[in-house]
Amino acid sequence: MVDLAGLPPSLEARQEAEEAGYLDPPEFERQPFWYVGRGRGALTAVAALGLACFTLPWAHLERPDRVTLSGLELAQAGLPWLFGGAIGWFLLIPLVWSRRSVAELRGVRIASATLPALTTIEAVLLILRPPLESHYYSSGLRYGWGLSASLILGLLGIYLGVTLGGSPRDLRDLKTRSERPSSPKTLH
């Protein structure tokens, strides 16, 4: 439980303060829809690339026939847990793109780092625990570049998710209403 005095003001109180000539601090001001700073655009691009990598070659089987399988085909062929990574990339795009202030971006750091971790864990599991082969059975498994790209994008996505929103101390890159002409006073 938190003391009521420690909570931020309600939406109505903020609107009344704005009408009276006071503004929110810069980290609470909503940026334009197409704002790509503070990791918002980079993480969205990585999520789109990660989702696309799910359809690229992940595994090549040499025996009994030469077959190339994507992450999607592997998931459909008996590894349904691989869908978790694709769903994570898919959910990351609207999660990040719907946040338009620094405070909102910083508020989804844990979720935005966890979703790329799903693909990272899947790729590591596939690499560390390949199917067992013996002198009685061999599939000639080789991993494709799509799996490596997914692993790299997953690690990059985790880093971008952890740093999403940047530091609240350095807000010089934000265009706030206080920088516009005839702006009201900032409430401290």
Q: What is the pLDDT of residues 31-52, one digit of tens each?
A: 888 888 888 999 999 999 999 9
Structure token pair of residue 126 = 């596939």
Phi, psi of 163 (to 5 degrees): -100, 10
Domain boundaries, given as residue ranges, for the chain: 38-186
**The model's pTM:** 0.75
| Stronger pLDDT, 90 or 34, i.e. the higher one | 90
Residue-averaged pLDDT of the chain: 83
What is the CB neighbour count within 10 angstroms for residue 124? Answer: 13
The band of 176, judged by pLDDT with boundaries at 50, 70 and 90, is low
State yes or no: pLDDT of 135 exceeds 70. no
